[in-house]
């Protein structure tokens, strides 16, 4: 079937009134201010009678609302629908293509983790194609202070929750580089928030470096963290700013896919 035949087949089953309703909705979404019936009809070339019936139907279902001066804007129903869509998103499925892109552009192994019972829980992993493979696995847990994803999560936790986790889990030493002092750890978290990504430099395992960044949702709630993991010899100190920024941008892209509207991560943490 050629393109002309396909187009004819697709338009054969169109519902004209529904097409007009969708055009009205999309137009109201694009406009900064409410629009009157006459302006809508002129812009969309829709007869006033058709527009009147469509607008009344949409208004009765709260898809649009009428302002005091008789103009129209989108209604609250779309907030309910968008919230439902966002709540049903599987963050693993959503993040996977971004993780693959980060893996392919950096050539490092990529992890996705969430906070679970005061620990970082790996929920997805994209292994690099190199000779060295890391023994991390989906379902593995890491203490917050010895993993990149853990530090990225910890940096954006409310202070009472962070204190509760540190009281319960402590800051046990894993290597000579591990931060074991709570005040020092909190100072490190301030640095993470200021630069937008965390650095875990042989703090959990000698010879291994991780760079990680947080992921937020539409309600600006912390949802997860993403990281790259590399051998120290494969990720030199001079490369950290560039790769760290790449991780941060990937985390921001995933956040925006979840509905996060800010262009930067928060500097201050909630009380």
Digit-coded pLDDT (tens) for 50-104: 888 999 999 998 899 999 999 999 988 887 776 666 565 589 999 999 999 999 9
Q: pTM of the entire structure?
A: 0.71
Beta bridge partners of 113: 122, 225
Distance CA 86, CA 8 (A): 35
135 and 55, same structural domain?
A: no
Domain identity same for 152 and 38: no
Q: Are residues 71 and 132 in the same domain?
A: no
Q: What is the DSSP letter of 85?
A: H
Domain boundary among 37, 57, 84: 84
Q: What is the CATH number of the domain that holds 113?
A: 3.30.450.40
Last residue of a domain, one of 84, 111, 126: 84
92 burial (CB, 10 Å; 0-12 / 13-18 / 19+) is: middle
Residues 244 and 147 placed together within one structural domain of the fold: yes
Closest CA relative to residue 145, chosen from 200, 187, 197: 200
Domain end among 84, 101, 119: 84
Residues 73 and 125 reside in one and the same domain = no
If 0-12 CB within 10 Å is exposed, 13-18 middle and 19+ buried, where does residue 133 land? exposed
Q: Is residue 267 part of a domain?
A: no
126 and 64 in a common domain: no
Q: Which tokens belong to 95?
A: 């993040």
The predicted-structure confidence for 227-255, as pLDDT tens digits, reads as follows 999 999 999 999 999 999 999 999 999 99
**Rounded to an integer, what distance in angstroms lies between the CA atom of residue 187 and that of residue 177?**
15
| Residue 1: per-residue pLDDT | 45
Domain extent for 21: 13-84
DSSP H helices, the chain, are 3-12, 16-30, 37-44, 48-60, 77-88, 91-106, 148-154, 159-169, 182-195, 240-257
The reply to whether 5 falls in a domain is no
111 with 239, same domain?
yes
The structural domain count of the chain equals: 2
Instruction: Provide, rounded to the nearest whole percent, the portion of the chain with pLDDT above 70.
Output: 91
Q: Are 102 and 199 part of one and the same domain?
A: yes
Give domain status of residue 263, yes or no: no
5 band by pLDDT with thresholds 50, 70 and 90:
very low
């Amino acid at each position: 079937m050629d393109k002309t035949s396909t187009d004819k087949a697709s338009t054969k089953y169109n519902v004209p009134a529904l097409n007009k309703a969708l055009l009205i909705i999309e137009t109201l979404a694009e406009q900064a201010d409410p629009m009157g019936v006459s302006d809508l009809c002129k812009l969309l070339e829709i007869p006033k009678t058709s527009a009147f019936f469509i607008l009344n139907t949409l208004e009765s279902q709260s898809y649009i609302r009428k302002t005091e001066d008789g103009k129209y804007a989108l209604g609250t129903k779309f907030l309910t629908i968008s919230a439902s869509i966002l709540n049903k998103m599987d963050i693993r499925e959503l993040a996977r293509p971004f993780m693959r892109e980060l893996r392919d552009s950096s050539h490092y192994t990529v992890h996705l983790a969430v906070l679970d019972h005061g620990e970082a829980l790996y929920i997805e992993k994209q292994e690099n194609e190199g000779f060295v493979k890391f023994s991390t696995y989906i379902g593995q847990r890491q203490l917050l202070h010895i993993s990149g994803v853990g530090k990225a999560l910890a940096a954006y936790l409310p202070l009472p929750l962070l204190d509760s986790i540190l009281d319960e889990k402590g800051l046990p030493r894993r290597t000579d580089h591990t931060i074991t002092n709570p005040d020092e750890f909190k100072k490190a978290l301030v640095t993470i928030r200021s630069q937008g990504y965390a650095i875990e430099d042989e703090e959990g395992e000698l010879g291994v470096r991780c760079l990680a960044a947080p992921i937020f949702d539409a309600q600006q709630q912390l949802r997860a963290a993403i990281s790259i993991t590399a051998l120290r010899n494969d990720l030199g100190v001079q490369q950290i700013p560039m790769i760290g920024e790449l991780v941060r941008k990937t985390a921001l892209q995933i956040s925006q896919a979840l509905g996060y509207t800010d262009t930067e991560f928060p500097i201050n943490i909630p009380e």
